[in-house]
Amino acid sequence: MEKYRDIDQTHPCRKKDAMAQILKRLKSGIQFNKYDFDAYCFANGIKKSDKNDCYWKPKYYPGQYSQKLIDGIVISLNSNPRLREKLKKQYSEYIRRRRGNKVIT
Protein backbone atom coordinates (compact mmCIF):
# COMPACT_ATOMS: atom_id res chain seq x y z
CA MET A 1 0.00 0.00 0.00
CA GLU A 2 1.36 3.40 -1.01
CA LYS A 3 1.39 6.33 1.36
CA TYR A 4 -0.58 9.34 0.16
CA ARG A 5 1.59 12.13 -1.15
CA ASP A 6 0.45 15.58 -2.13
CA ILE A 7 2.30 15.83 -5.42
CA ASP A 8 1.88 19.59 -5.51
CA GLN A 9 3.92 19.70 -2.28
CA THR A 10 6.58 17.10 -3.10
CA HIS A 11 6.96 17.88 -6.83
CA PRO A 12 5.64 21.44 -7.25
CA CYS A 13 7.29 22.50 -10.52
CA ARG A 14 6.47 21.94 -14.14
CA LYS A 15 9.46 22.14 -16.50
CA LYS A 16 8.86 25.84 -17.21
CA ASP A 17 8.83 26.71 -13.50
CA ALA A 18 11.89 24.56 -12.80
CA MET A 19 13.78 26.23 -15.64
CA ALA A 20 12.95 29.69 -14.27
CA GLN A 21 14.27 28.76 -10.81
CA ILE A 22 17.42 27.20 -12.24
CA LEU A 23 18.20 30.22 -14.42
CA LYS A 24 17.81 32.58 -11.45
CA ARG A 25 20.24 30.57 -9.32
CA LEU A 26 23.00 29.77 -11.83
CA LYS A 27 26.19 31.81 -11.73
CA SER A 28 26.38 34.52 -14.36
CA GLY A 29 27.80 33.33 -17.64
CA ILE A 30 26.38 29.80 -17.36
CA GLN A 31 23.80 29.20 -20.04
CA PHE A 32 21.00 26.69 -19.59
CA ASN A 33 18.04 25.79 -21.78
CA LYS A 34 15.37 23.08 -22.13
CA TYR A 35 17.71 20.82 -24.09
CA ASP A 36 20.25 21.05 -21.26
CA PHE A 37 17.49 20.23 -18.78
CA ASP A 38 16.50 17.14 -20.79
CA ALA A 39 20.16 16.15 -21.12
CA TYR A 40 20.65 16.36 -17.35
CA CYS A 41 17.52 14.29 -16.73
CA PHE A 42 18.64 11.68 -19.29
CA ALA A 43 22.21 11.39 -17.97
CA ASN A 44 21.01 11.00 -14.39
CA GLY A 45 18.13 8.64 -15.15
CA ILE A 46 15.56 11.03 -13.71
CA LYS A 47 12.70 9.91 -15.97
CA LYS A 48 13.40 6.17 -15.92
CA SER A 49 10.61 5.85 -13.39
CA ASP A 50 7.33 7.76 -13.45
CA LYS A 51 7.48 8.25 -9.70
CA ASN A 52 10.68 9.06 -7.86
CA ASP A 53 12.17 11.76 -5.60
CA CYS A 54 12.93 14.09 -8.51
CA TYR A 55 10.20 13.43 -11.08
CA TRP A 56 6.53 12.53 -10.91
CA LYS A 57 4.43 11.82 -13.99
CA PRO A 58 0.69 11.93 -13.30
CA LYS A 59 -1.46 9.84 -15.60
CA TYR A 60 -3.07 12.65 -17.57
CA TYR A 61 -0.81 15.64 -16.98
CA PRO A 62 2.74 16.70 -17.78
CA GLY A 63 5.51 15.62 -15.43
CA GLN A 64 6.33 17.56 -12.30
CA TYR A 65 9.75 18.10 -10.77
CA SER A 66 10.91 18.39 -7.18
CA GLN A 67 13.03 21.03 -5.51
CA LYS A 68 15.63 18.29 -4.97
CA LEU A 69 16.17 18.06 -8.74
CA ILE A 70 16.39 21.83 -9.14
CA ASP A 71 18.93 22.08 -6.32
CA GLY A 72 20.94 19.21 -7.83
CA ILE A 73 21.12 20.86 -11.24
CA VAL A 74 22.13 24.23 -9.80
CA ILE A 75 24.82 22.74 -7.55
CA SER A 76 26.21 20.55 -10.34
CA LEU A 77 26.44 23.30 -12.92
CA ASN A 78 27.71 25.99 -10.55
CA SER A 79 30.50 23.69 -9.35
CA ASN A 80 31.36 22.33 -12.81
CA PRO A 81 30.33 24.62 -15.71
CA ARG A 82 31.82 22.18 -18.27
CA LEU A 83 29.35 19.52 -17.19
CA ARG A 84 26.71 21.06 -19.46
CA GLU A 85 28.70 20.28 -22.62
CA LYS A 86 29.40 16.72 -21.48
CA LEU A 87 25.71 16.07 -20.79
CA LYS A 88 24.64 17.60 -24.09
CA LYS A 89 27.09 15.38 -25.97
CA GLN A 90 25.82 12.25 -24.20
CA TYR A 91 22.21 13.17 -24.86
CA SER A 92 22.74 14.06 -28.53
CA GLU A 93 24.53 10.72 -29.12
CA TYR A 94 21.59 8.91 -27.54
CA ILE A 95 19.08 10.77 -29.72
CA ARG A 96 21.16 10.12 -32.84
CA ARG A 97 21.29 6.38 -32.07
CA ARG A 98 17.58 6.26 -31.30
CA ARG A 99 16.67 8.01 -34.56
CA GLY A 100 19.03 5.82 -36.53
CA ASN A 101 17.37 2.64 -35.30
CA LYS A 102 13.83 3.59 -36.27
CA VAL A 103 12.24 1.61 -39.07
CA ILE A 104 10.33 3.76 -41.53
CA THR A 105 7.24 2.09 -42.94
> Could you give the CA distance from residue 26 to residue 22 in angstroms, rounded to a whole number?
6
- Give the phi and the psi of residue 19 in degrees, each rounded to 5: -60, -45
The yes-or-no verdict on residue 31 having pLDDT over 90 is yes
Q: Spell out the domain ranges in the chain.
A: 7-100
DSSP type of residue 102: P
Q: pTM of the entire structure?
A: 0.86
Q: For residue range 60-80, what is the model confidence (pLDDT) as tens digits?
A: 888 999 999 999 999 999 999
**Once rounded to an integer, what is the mean pLDDT over residues 43-55?**
91
pLDDT for the residue numbered 15: 96
* Better pLDDT: 5 or 97: 97
